[in-house]
Every structure is written in C-alpha cells, then in structure tokens.
Structure 1
C-alpha cells in the first residue's frame, strides 16, 4: 500500500460527547501551540456539527472551516466566539510547579553531564609528572 492511498486521520470521528470535547481541547491548550489549538477547535466543531456551531456563533460555516483548519489564521475574537458557542469559557491558571523529584532529577542529570565533560577533558590532555601535557591519539585527531 502506498502512503498516498492512506486516509488522513480525522479526530472528529472519535469525539463522541462533551467530556471528549473538553478533554481533547484541554490537551491542545496544554501544549500551547496555536495551530494545534485551532485544529482541535476545528475537530470539535466538526464533531458537534459545523452548521449548528456557525448558527450559534454568528460566523459563516465556510469561514469557520477556513479559520479552524491547520492553515487557518483565526482572529482571537473568532476563537472566543467559537468557544462561547460550544458552551465553554477560558480560565487562566498558573502552571503547576514541577514536583521536587523532577527538579532533583534535572539537577542530578546536569551534575552527571558536567562530570562526564570534566573526565573527557582530563583524558584529552592530562599532564605527566614533569608538567608536560600528554595528549591522547583521539584528542590529536
């Protein structure tokens, strides 16, 4: 089978109810990519029914398809109208603080990387008992 024969994935076919819509949109917003958010809004709009959403938002159906596609450039006002027509609203919250274990793991990883760097530097140019620098064959290459 050729790649060109494969069907493009359409998430809107798998979104069945309001819970699915909210979870899908929350995941897109968590990622923070504007294109992904627009596409997710488009998928939810298709799953709910683009015609009904167009009527509720006051935006033409064709304009919604364009604005909520991967290549669309929806204005913020359009996004807000769509979200409102879906019966949702945006809430701002501080990002959750990284757990202490994650912070410790990051600092430990950094320490190991620094130690490896120092060890490699020592191997590349160690000194002899007379103070001369001895270089390995790998360092000379």
Structure 2
C-alpha cells in the first residue's frame, strides 16, 4: 500500500506574531537568500498577500513572483515587505 502524503504549508502554522518572528529569525540565521525570501513570502501569505502587497506598494502578482522559491526579490522589495509586515531589517555582528 503506497504511503499517502499531504503538502505542508508553513503559512497555515504562522498564527501569531511570535511564530512569525521565530520563523523569520530561523530563516535569517540559516543565511540562504532563497530560504529568507520564501520565509518572508510565507509570512505575507499568512497575513494576506493582497493586503501586504498593497501596504508595500507592490502588486499581488509581483509579491508572488518575488517571494516564490525561485524568486529573487530586490533589497527594496524585501525592505518594503518587511516594513509592511511590521518588522525592521537590522544588522549585527556575527557570533
């Protein structure tokens, strides 16, 4: 009998600001740009992609394109979306 699996969508689990922050922190700690972009997109989907796109000054389609697995958002797009999500990009010394 074949094993049945279901697709896991992280956006369904991001139900609080604390969960979103922990998810984004883990992605940034990993450091993979594609993972970071995907995580930001997951949080935006959890909050409502259309609303976040509007608040960031982007189209919904541009948001989906930029934050999909193969996307490559500009720093301007990342900064605008993180601001619309209520987060702030910062830098700190490693270690």
Asked whether the two chains share a fold, i.e. TM above 0.5, the reply is yes
| Higher RCO (C-alpha under 8 Å, 6+ residues apart) | 2
Runs in 1 of length 4+ with deviation above 3 angstroms?
A: none
Per residue, is there more strand in 1 or in 2?
1
* TM-score (structure 2 length as normaliser): 0.92
TM-score by length of 1: 0.63
Compare CA radii of gyration and give the structure with the larger one. 1
The residue matched to 1:21 in structure 2 has which SS?
helix
Q: Which residue of 2 aligns with 1:41?
A: 40
**Structure 1 gap ranges (5+):** 97-141
Give the Cα separation in 2 of the matches to 1:79 and 1:39: 11
Looking at structure 1, the residues matched to 90 and 65 of structure 2 have their Cα atoms a distance apart, in angstroms, of 26
Q: Structure 2: how far apart are the matches of 1:84 and 1:62?
A: 19
**Partner in structure 1 of residue 25 of structure 2:** 26
Counterpart Cα distance in 2 of 1:81 and 1:42: 12
Segments of structure 2 that go 5 or more residues without pairing to the other structure are: none
